[in-house]
Structure 1
Amino acid sequence: MAFDYKKEYKEFYLPPKTPGIVTVPAMHFLAVRGRGDPNEESGAYKQALGLLYAVAYTIKMSKLGKHRPEGYFDYVVPPLEGLWWQEGIHGVDYARKKDFQWISLLRLPEFVTKEVFAWAIRETTEKKQQDFSPVEFFSWEEGLCVQCMHIGPYDDEPATVAAMEEYATAQGYEEDFGEGRFHHEIYLSDVRRCKPERLKTVIRQPIKRAE
C-alpha cells in the first residue's frame, strides 16, 4: 500500500477544528515562488501549480522507469501547501490578494535528494518541452506554530485565524512572523470538486513564547 503522509502524520495534516500548538520538524519540498492574486485565471499561481505537479509525478512514477532512486517507496503525492505574506503586514490581509507573495509547496518523500531532484527537473523538461527552472528544492524547518483545521471558504479564514491567535495568547505565546516564518496553509480538498462550505484547509501561524 502506498505511503500516505496525511494518514501517517495526522498531527501535521489532520488537526482538530480547535486550535493547538505543534512543533513541525525539517522537511524537503518542491517549491515555486511568486506574487499576485491566486484566483487570477492563467495567472502565476496556477502556472506554478502546473510546474509543481509535473515534477512531483515524474518523481512518483520513476518506479516504472530506468531511474529508480535509491530507497524509493511508493507514496501518495502529499497535499498542496502554501506560504503567504505581504510587505509591511504581520500575517495576511485577505482583502489585498493582489499584494500576496507566496511559495507554493509539495512535500518530497525522504528518498528525494538534491541529485534526484536535479534528475527529475531534467526528465520533466525533456518530457514536457517546457521550462521548469522556477521549481526549486526547498528545505524548511517550520518550528513552533499554532494550527487549526478550517472548514469552509478561504475568504472565511480570518475568523479561524482570530481564534488561533486568541488561543495562542491564552497559552502564553505571541506571533512570530519574520524571516522564514509565514502564514501557512495546507489544502486537503480539491477546490474544483468540493463545495466551498466543505473545503478543508490546515492553517498554521508561527509563534514564540511571549516575552
Structure 2
Amino acid sequence: MKYEWRKQERDLYLPKGIQVVNVPQVHFLTLTGHGDPNQPAFSAQIQALYPVAYAVRMALKKGEFGTPYEYTVYPLEGVWTTTDGSRDATLNKAALAYTIMLRQPDQVTAEQVQLAIARTRDKHPSPYLDQLQFVTYTEGRCLQATHTGSFDTEGTTFAAMRDYLTAHQLTTQTTMGDYQHREIYLSDFRRVAPERRKTTLQWRLA
C-alpha cells in the first residue's frame, strides 16, 4: 500500500485552526541559503532538491535497499529567520536566512542519498548538489496553523498565533525573536496563485 502523508499524517501537516503538536525526529534533504527567495538562486536550489528526492523514492519503490516501499514525496519545507531582526511589515527579504528541506522516510540512509545524488548529477546537473546535506532534524513540541494567502500576508496568521501563545501561557524557543519559524508548503507556490496558497506555519515551543 502506498504511504501518503496527506492521509496518514494529517494532524502534523494539515492543522485545523491553531494547535500544539509534537513533531517527531525525522530525516531531511537540505540546502541552506540567504537572501530574497524571489531571486533565481532560490528556485535553482529547489530544482536541485526534488530530483534527488525522486531518485530516492524510485530506488525504494524498486526494492533496491530491501523490501519495496512506495510513498508520496513529502512537501517542501523551510526554516526561516532574518539576519537583521526585521519581520512582518518591515521584513527585509534581502536579510533572510533559510534552510529548505524535503523529508525522507525513516529507512533512508546517508549512503542511499549519496547514490541518489550521483544518479541525479548525470541527468540534472546542478552546483547545489555538492551542497546538499542529509540531516536528522528534531523539532519537538510546536505551535502551528495553516495560512491561506500570499507569503506577504503571513503576519496576520502570526498575530493570531501570538494571541494563542498569550492565552495559553506558552513561549517560543527562538534565536531571533518570533520571526524564526518553519513553513510547510502545502501548495506549489510556483503554480498556485498567491491568494490560494496554503502554508503551515510552525513555531518551536520552549
TM-score by length of 1: 0.88
Partner of residue 126 from structure 1, selected from 122, 127, 135 = 122
- Give the corresponding residue for 1:206: 204
What runs of 5+ residues in structure 1 fail to find an aligned partner?
Answer: none
Contact 1:184/1:205 (<8 A) preserved: yes
After superposition, give the CA deviation of every residue in 1:33-76 in whole Å (9 maximum; x if it has no partner).
00010011x2x2111101100101111122576x7122441111
Greater share of residues in helix: 2
- Give the corresponding residue for 1:6: 6
The offset of 1:121, in angstroms, is 1.5
Alpha-carbon distance in 2 for matches of 1:140, 1:37: 24
Do the aligned partners of residues 127 and 157 (structure 1) sit closer, same or farther apart at CA in structure 2, a change above 3 Å counting?
same
The offset of 1:207, in angstroms, is 1.8
Alignment of 1:4-153 (within 5 A): 4-16=4-16, 18-40=17-39, 42=40, 44-63=41-60, 68-89=64-85, 92-93=87-88, 95-131=91-127, 132-153=129-150
After superposition, give the CA deviation of every residue in 1:81-100 in whole Å (9 maximum; x if it has no partner).
0000112538x446211110
The offset of 1:10, in angstroms, is 0.8
TM-score by length of 2: 0.90
After superposition, give the CA deviation of every residue in 1:117-170 in whole Å (9 maximum; x if it has no partner).
121112212333444111100211101211001111111100101111110121
Number of aligned residues: 202
Alpha-carbon distance in 2 for matches of 1:64, 1:141: 26
Contact 2:149/2:196 (<8 A) preserved: yes
- Give the corresponding residue for 2:168: 171
What runs of 5+ residues in structure 2 fail to find an aligned partner?
Answer: none
Alpha-carbon distance in 2 for matches of 1:201, 1:160: 10
